[in-house]
């Protein structure tokens, strides 16, 4: 596994935002990711907190807009943010709409031939952690957690529920909670996975919560703005996920935040709570 190429570095709160590019064997094209190394990474290994972004975003959105670095620096945790889809494959129709194709990988492994390079699930769960483990000894990839926003919240919830051995806990901002039952999800799942809805269930957080039978010694935190237009358009359906969790004995706190929307203003406001949530799990063992 070749070393990633550093393409930028900026100092912030005593640590560094470093952006990298590497040849992805999973995706088949170069992929970019950013790591915020807290000051503690200069002295020893630090836990890893993976961030998954939403539709149209790249690895840079959370780095530039959320203010996550202040709390990550204070708590001594690294933030790893990856891209949301392959880019540069020039697949016909990949950029025809903002909610499918480029910038809209939905953190799944596509099974339809045309979209076979859209394997963001394997990239996040397998390739990226192995890359970090191989080339960044200051990152303790065995002590990791995951969170995300919107489509990335969907990705964080599903990846966590399918891989309890890899992540200590999970949280999300305005996640797409029941994609099999909302317009965004139906469009993406039909395009990437075909019409067989049994395949859809593998990437639906609400269905996974209903069926989950593993160790339930974790607690899920979700922040959802009450003025989120996508909430009112029935794209997110957090109440359905919360009910699925509660009916199956999974601890979940769904916080409805009055007056807040779907933007990074909301994420920045409640980011400190999410960092605290993850650090508690990452430092409990």
Instruction: Supply the residues annotated as catalytic.
Output: 150, 228, 262
Nearest alpha-carbon partner for 283 in 79, 48, 36: 48
Helix axes 264-282, 68-75, angle to 10 degrees: 10
User: At CA 185, angle to CA 99 and CA 81, rounded to 5?
Assistant: 60
- Token pair of 241, please? 């996920």
Please give the Cα distance from 3 to 6 (Å, whole number). Answer: 9
Nearest alpha-carbon partner for 267 in 79, 82, 62, 59: 62
Please give the Cα distance from 59 to 82 (Å, whole number). Answer: 5
Please identify which residue in the block is written with the tokens 């990239």: 123
Please give the Cα distance from 36 to 15 (Å, whole number). Answer: 7
By residue count, the chain amounts to: 285
C-alpha 140: how far from its chain's center?
18
Please give the Cα distance from 86 to 211 (Å, whole number). Answer: 30
Assign 145 to helix, strand or coil: strand
Please give the Cα distance from 110 to 256 (Å, whole number). Answer: 33
- Token pair of 17, please? 């935002």
């Amino acid at each position: 596994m070749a070393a990633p190429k550093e393409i930028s570095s900026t100092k912030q709160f005593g640590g560094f935002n470093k952006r990298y590019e590497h040849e992805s064997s999973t995706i088949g094209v170069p992929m970019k990711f950013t790591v915020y190394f807290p000051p503690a990474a200069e002295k020893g290994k630090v836990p890893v907190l993976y961030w998954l972004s939403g539709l149209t975003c790249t690895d840079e959105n959370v780095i530039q807009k959320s203010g996550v670095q202040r709390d990550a620096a204070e708590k001594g945790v690294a933030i790893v943010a990856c891209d949301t889809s392959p880019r540069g494959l020039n697949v016909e129709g990949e950029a025809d709409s903002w909610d499918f194709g480029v910038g809209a990988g939905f953190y799944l492994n596509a099974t339809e031939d045309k979209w076979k390079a859209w394997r963001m699930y394997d990239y996040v769960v397998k390739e990226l952690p192995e890359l970090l483990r191989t080339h960044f000894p200051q990152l303790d990839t065995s002590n990791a957690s995951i969170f995300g926003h919107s489509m990335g919240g969907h990705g964080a919830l599903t990846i966590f529920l399918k891989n309890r051995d890899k992540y200590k806990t999970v949280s999300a901002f305005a996640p797409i909670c029941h994609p099999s039952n909302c317009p965004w999800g139906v469009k993406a799942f039909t395009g990437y996975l075909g019409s067989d809805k049994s395949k859809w269930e593998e990437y639906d957080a609400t269905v996974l919560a209903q069926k989950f039978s593993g160790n339930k010694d974790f607690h899920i935190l979700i922040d959802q703005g009450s003025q989120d237009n996508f909430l009112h358009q029935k794209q997110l359906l957090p109440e359905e996920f919360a009910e699925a969790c509660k009916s199956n004995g999974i601890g979940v706190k769904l916080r409805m935040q009055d007056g807040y929307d779907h933007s990074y203003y909301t994420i920045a406001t409640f980011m400190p709570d999410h960092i605290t949530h993850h650090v508690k799990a990452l430092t409990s063992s």
